[in-house]
Structure 1
């Protein structure tokens, strides 16, 4: 890849004299920022205390309060698909990951189960620009076909697909024989390998090795890009017992009262408008007061484990930022924090809580629809779906040297999407996004740089934001959102008046709706979206019906009503 034209050097020199900020180019390594992207797994929109949660997250809150915190940032509703978009700047189908790693139906255009050769990753692009590139955590992008060391990462400690929290943990997938495997720079080893240390907890392990890789970059005098992809708080949710015990008894008020409290805090924080109604919890979820004391204690224990896992994510961020500050690196390091999808309601209303002690290496904890309804406050639906509960995530951006933060600024309300991350990294680093890479023609990115927002300016986007996962579809265009579930009708919502998606305006604004449907159809064909062939999920997004059936997901398809 070629570096930016030499006029960037002249621009930097002029900028230094007249006092305006300039993002460093590839020919000016001293000015280029370091980059850390932190991805949580299945974290809900309201789980951080800066987004309304009751679990204290002081380190993330500090980054949010001294940087930018986004109120309308979107992911793609699922693990692999968000990871693909984050690293490539493309919608997942276009990058080859229209679904999870491991699923590639015959004849698919964009559901290939790996990142194909016409997509480059952030690590590819930044390593060519002189960055030291490293990754720790969950890969989930087709490890057999495209492991991280073959997609630009010079150093890595990764799990192919997550699921591991402790070194003595049995395989989460019962079909696996022997202990789970982890890969250090491509070398396969057991999770109990002594090179990883003793008695580690996964969230801390990824952070420790992330710091180690930063030290390698420092030794080679290179700016660094660290992609830190946590396993937490994805099922089977686990955490150290001493942390879990801190939260026992703190959730005995139940999901409905705690959800109402989060909703009120979100209004006070300015995250949501008080005119947006709090969505109702699914009728499948039992009323808290109808539960026995034993069941209440069981559910409280489940949430205590989840809270402990969030605390460890936050404390690991604190250790990382403390290290950066000690080394004099914090001011010129862009830190981005987000989640890969909405909270998991998989396993239905009651969740799964098995094993003793709960949250330990021999346990199995799946939060279920009840507590997911708390995590997604104030929205409806969850992971898998393209309603707000499935795709809305916190985004925190912290970069003292590069983000102009007005006094008393609240939330950044501009809609943005995970496809915008790589364009942002290219922009701030002065890297070059290629048209040809390894003798292969590269597809263009879909996203746009977020850097104008870093500078207090407005963001320009020349087309809507699009979504498709498992036949669930959506289009976000300015204040309008068009959305439908698999086999369901299109709905239209005004997101300035009703972000919780309670009042369908399709019949009131048919021309707007039809225009957005046409835009979706064109995108569907252009960006390699496949017709979804698979079962409809229950509201929880939980385990699929045993009897699968085919569904003809035409771009404008609506099996019940073509008009609506």
Structure 2
């Protein structure tokens, strides 16, 4: 008997040795899901994408996860959130332009289906779908997909608990008025704690929600930081860490980031830098007073990113303390590229507005630093060039094989892929009807689980963008961009020129015609038109 058992054991060991090492690890139960999104952060700001800003916790996530080189957002805060939450192009969800403003909601109610300014009832959110499969659902942070009317708030769109700002930008130090913090469906008074800071509050309250969960049901936590979106608000001790870092200027910082990106294999050295923004002078042309003020603005911005990082550390530490890391899928990304608003070289709003707790407007770091934040890409938030729509993204998943941890993937994805990805990962079912029998628009994306597990390309030919005055389409390595009212497209070969320096449209008229026609067909069937009723 002893010999037979030993032979059987040897046979089992032999069979196990035949299993390919790249086989994915299959989670034994429904995974918890933590979806972390930052606001207006550039592609190269964090350490694991080439930045000098201290981000050891996000880097730790990357070391055990998979980094994506070619994941796309929609180029702006609220359309991105609409697409991320629903798995649809933003126009299909009702937010092709902007979400409702706290003071002037009518400005974004355009009277057409694609531009109503809040999520419609023909879409479902990730929370609504995951709840049907037994998930507890939590959200903390920036909502920005509708706020006038209780039916538009997170609790009414599938989240069991909510703490955050229904509006877009707010004060980090004292949210108030139409940009106040809400708990569930209740608007809160401005915080009186002198140490209050939204980045901390969104993290801490989310962890409180998890601690209060009395069942072992899987959970979905959407943690949507408002950082590092303007206004420039940061803790003084965090600013101190970076107060001398940026005196070297944006040209040197940009070169250092590019060098690190090339060394880590993130970008192809043949791409080089994107074209210099004509509104930005070389650093040595600035006066010393200009250098001092704008270097400080960048130090505050870096401190905002740094605060995100140590709060991500709180999330990881909590999950580890509860032994949940091995069954939790964590995704980290940005909602759009770096923000150059309000398009001044040295930053917008008076210097005195920095860290003013009663100011929630665009006190920002300027075009020069936004250009550095997006190293090496062209343009910024809003426009569908790579600097506007490329996002850093890390996926840390129980189903990521060990030999792929810490690696990059070059597979192409988009926010519309999040719904099918999380549906597959969770075992949930995407509904055909919801909201009392309303017909639900089918998912537009593809699951990224094959990319995560096996680096398998997605079976998709085209991706599309439209926002404000610009539109874009990508087919394989080719991407076209233009202003909507202008006839001529720009065409770029992103494999050889991802910094979009060389327009090859004139050499490829048939491809331009084909891709332009496909974009028009998409726009005509996805509520892009009509844009606005007169």
Q: Partners of 1:288 and 1:258 in 2: how far apart?
A: 11
Change (3 A) 1:282 1:22: closer
Q: Partners of 1:125 and 1:106 in 2: how far apart?
A: 28
Where does residue 524 of structure 1 map in the other structure? 523
Where does residue 431 of structure 2 map in the other structure? 434
- RMSD after superposition: 2.2
Most deviating of 453-462 and 219-228: 453-462
Where does residue 499 of structure 1 map in the other structure? 498
Q: Is the 8 A contact 1:424 1:448 kept in 2?
A: yes
Deviations 1:410-434 (A, max 9, x none): 3211110011111111001000100
For normalisation by structure 1, the TM-score amounts to 0.85
Where does residue 210 of structure 1 map in the other structure? 206
Q: CA deviation at 1:104?
A: 3.9
Output aligned runs, 1:220-369, within 5 Å: 220-348=215-343, 349-354=345-350, 356=352, 358-362=354-358, 365-369=363-367
SS in structure 2 of the partner of residue 361 of structure 1 = coil
Most deviating of 389-398 and 461-470: 461-470
Q: Is the 8 A contact 1:170 1:361 kept in 2?
A: no
Q: CA deviation at 1:507?
A: 1.5
SS in structure 1 of the partner of residue 163 of structure 2 = strand
Q: Runs ≥4 in structure 1, deviation > 6 angstroms? A: none
Q: Is the 8 A contact 1:130 1:222 kept in 2?
A: yes
Q: CA deviation at 1:471?
A: 2.6
SS in structure 1 of the partner of residue 422 of structure 2 = helix
Q: Does residue 142 of structure 1 match 2:142?
A: no
Q: CA deviation at 1:213?
A: 1.4
Q: CA deviation at 1:367?
A: 1.7
Q: Is the 8 A contact 1:356 1:362 kept in 2?
A: no
SS in structure 1 of the partner of residue 517 of structure 2 = helix
Q: Partners of 2:244 and 2:530 in 1: how far apart?
A: 46
Q: Is the 8 A contact 2:33 2:328 kept in 1?
A: yes
Output aligned runs, 1:400-411, within 5 Å: 401-406=398-403, 410-411=407-408
Q: How many residues align?
A: 502
Q: Partners of 2:146 and 2:263 in 1: how far apart?
A: 43
Q: Partners of 1:531 and 1:56 in 2: how far apart?
A: 45
SS in structure 2 of the partner of residue 251 of structure 1 = helix
Q: Is the 8 A contact 2:25 2:401 kept in 1?
A: no
For structure 1, the 5+ residue unaligned runs are: 1-15, 25-29, 535-549, 551-564
Deviations 1:89-147 (A, max 9, x none): 00000111111112445441311111100000000001111100000001100112411
Where does residue 158 of structure 2 map in the other structure? 152
Q: Is the 8 A contact 1:34 1:223 kept in 2?
A: yes
1:92 paired residue among 77, 90, 93: 90
Q: Partners of 1:346 and 1:121 in 2: how far apart?
A: 29
Q: Does residue 36 of structure 1 match 2:43?
A: no
SS in structure 2 of the partner of residue 137 of structure 1 = strand
Where does residue 122 of structure 1 map in the other structure? 126
Output aligned runs, 1:386-401, within 5 Å: 386-399=384-397, 401=398
Change (3 A) 1:407 1:522: closer
Q: CA deviation at 1:530?
A: 2.7
Q: Partners of 1:95 and 1:526 in 2: how far apart?
A: 13
Q: Partners of 2:356 and 2:158 in 1: how far apart?
A: 35
Q: Is the 8 A contact 1:36 1:226 kept in 2?
A: yes
Q: CA deviation at 1:485?
A: 3.1
Q: Partners of 1:447 and 1:405 in 2: how far apart?
A: 27
Higher helix share: 2
For normalisation by structure 2, the TM-score amounts to 0.90
Q: Does residue 445 of structure 1 match 2:449?
A: no
Change (3 A) 1:149 1:249: same
SS in structure 1 of the partner of residue 303 of structure 2 = helix
Q: CA deviation at 1:221?
A: 1.8
Change (3 A) 1:170 1:131: closer
Where does residue 161 of structure 1 map in the other structure? 167
Deviations 1:258-289 (A, max 9, x none): 11111111111111101002013212112221
Change (3 A) 1:41 1:409: closer
Q: Does residue 201 of structure 1 match 2:212?
A: no
SS in structure 1 of the partner of residue 297 of structure 2 = helix
1:466 paired residue among 446, 455, 464: 464
Q: Is the 8 A contact 2:138 2:221 kept in 1?
A: yes
Change (3 A) 1:170 1:133: closer
Q: Partners of 2:43 and 2:342 in 1: how far apart?
A: 20
Where does residue 184 of structure 1 map in the other structure? 183
Q: Is the 8 A contact 2:142 2:164 kept in 1?
A: yes
SS in structure 2 of the partner of residue 267 of structure 1 = helix
Q: Is the 8 A contact 1:47 1:55 kept in 2?
A: yes
Change (3 A) 1:474 1:270: same
